[in-house]
Structure 1
């Protein structure tokens, strides 16, 4: 008889959790991108109480499920991540039951009248969708992960935009500027949660981040108006984490220029592919911009929501 247990994660389990995340990602999306350092960064985040906000589901001694909860809003919005090997509806119920209860507890501690819990799941998720629906979860948004091939002879340094200059984010002052630009430019987006500079540094694992891959765009007469954050630590692709342009500077082609600059830069680093994620209902029509620049659908992720009155 199989013995099923659920227990909190400990730091020495990061390698096993990472292996499970990658196994699930290969099943759902065809490739693995996560390393143990990324898992540990999540677990060490100051907003995570690992003993109460993490769950490892074992069948005998085999790890088959992993859940993590984060509270980045300080209010009603709570985020959870769930990874589960296929064919385990009872395992999904076990983990969701605990995650939902903890989400309600965290929201109540924040003084909120309800918990609004979100999780992102691949459209081909191994988590049983019937279990999600029976527990009251519903899809509220779809995101596309888009990708584009790169080649040094095709992705050349773009022609500069008149009056626009780029600089890498190399010092503390520029890091604060990049944070402020991204916060302001994303403030009206779906599911945006304001983050202080210190919280943002934890979110992006600043201790290990390469800030030379964060660029700020300055426009003559307007000042600093846009920022792009990217990363080069994924196994199979360069990754554009965010592109933000202040409302006053939109319509000048700055976002497209930043994209072309990243294509050239990452091709020069030897990458043959670059990727990003986009909200398909983004009011700024970012999806159209990315498609015009040669990015195509790689996979899709749904945001699932559960509302828990307290």
Structure 2
């Protein structure tokens, strides 16, 4: 490329251009565009992100070719980031990595084990050699699974004996209970960061969340047993972001029932596909559960981690 590379902070007015860039990366990595404008806007408007210091947009010939963002809402020492780049732009890729790493060191200063984590699709447009050469290593793989829905899936499933289900659409106390159940059932999962209710809402971008699509399952004598948090604000599919069953109550068919309930609701809403992400090393049996209910691999994402030494 002969065009001069320029880098500047991203702004809310860049959302459409950034969305187009991310969808170009999607097409290369997974075969189709799956990034919605609302998702980009939520990132750019996150209350914990200062775009002036935490975001970068790289342009060549006036065209966006790379974009990066870092944030710090996962506890002391852990900085998370996004990095997207078109193929054949190693200069832009490396420049944004340098800026991300420098900012992450400043954000994690004084932490016992500072680290930067980014997630990239398997076979990313970013050359993995650029990452390994800078000291990054892969620490986990997550699989995105999807399931096609038909009108037959709209039939409500039979619940396990005694189990009742309520949604969180009208009651703030139920929303807080959903948060508590997510915190409890995901506590041992890789990458889970404990969050108080307010920061959790920010992390979810709760402004766009339809709480009637969040359900709590209860059992007599056990109280609230499980939670299913879904959202219907993606163009490509309905999304099941959290399905958690309390540890002592697993193996009773609750997780499978919640999946089938979600299928039924989204089929009735006219959706033809639902999806979710799962840690391939998850020890709770989630991967087998989803496979048994017809969910199949769509694409995989690797988590890359860099130890943030003070001198770079």
TM-score by length of 2: 0.96
Q: Who is 1:251 aligned against?
A: 251
Q: Write the mapping of 1:3-42 to structure 2, written as runs, cut at 5 A.
A: 3-42=4-43
Checking the alignment, whether the CA contact within 8 Å between 1:6 and 1:58 is kept in structure 2 is yes
The number of residue pairs the alignment matches comes to 308
Hey, what's the Cα distance between the residues in 1 that align with 2:69 and 2:95? 14
Deviation at 1:302, TM superposition (A): 0.5
Q: Who is 1:82 aligned against?
A: 83
Matched, 1:308 2:308: yes
Hey, what's the Cα distance between the residues in 2 that align with 1:186 and 1:265? 24
Q: Who is 2:291 aligned against?
A: 291
Q: Write the mapping of 1:181-220 to structure 2, written as runs, cut at 5 A.
A: 181-220=181-220
Q: Who is 2:136 aligned against?
A: 137
Hey, what's the Cα distance between the residues in 1 that align with 2:12 and 2:274? 31
Hey, what's the Cα distance between the residues in 2 that align with 1:279 and 1:153? 29
Hey, what's the Cα distance between the residues in 2 that align with 1:7 and 1:269? 42
Hey, what's the Cα distance between the residues in 2 that align with 1:173 and 1:34? 32
> CA RMSD, aligned part only?
1.1
Q: Who is 2:261 aligned against?
A: 261
Q: Write the mapping of 1:153-168 to structure 2, written as runs, cut at 5 A.
A: 153-168=152-167
Checking the alignment, whether the CA contact within 8 Å between 1:32 and 1:235 is kept in structure 2 is no
Checking the alignment, whether the CA contact within 8 Å between 1:114 and 1:309 is kept in structure 2 is no
Checking the alignment, whether the CA contact within 8 Å between 1:230 and 1:240 is kept in structure 2 is yes
Structure 1: 4+ residue segments shifted above 6 A = none
Hey, what's the Cα distance between the residues in 2 that align with 1:178 and 1:113? 31
Deviation by residue 1:199-220 (Cα, 9 ceiling, x = unmatched): 1111111122111110110111
Q: Who is 1:282 aligned against?
A: 282
Deviation by residue 1:197-240 (Cα, 9 ceiling, x = unmatched): 00111111112211111011011111112111111111121111
Checking the alignment, whether the CA contact within 8 Å between 2:244 and 2:255 is kept in structure 1 is yes
Q: Write the mapping of 1:215-226 to structure 2, written as runs, cut at 5 A.
A: 215-226=215-226
SS in 1 for 2:96: helix
SS in 1 for 2:206: coil
SS in 2 for 1:207: helix
Structure 2 residue runs of 5 or longer lacking an equivalent are none
Hey, what's the Cα distance between the residues in 2 that align with 1:159 and 1:304? 41
Structure 1 residue runs of 5 or longer lacking an equivalent are none
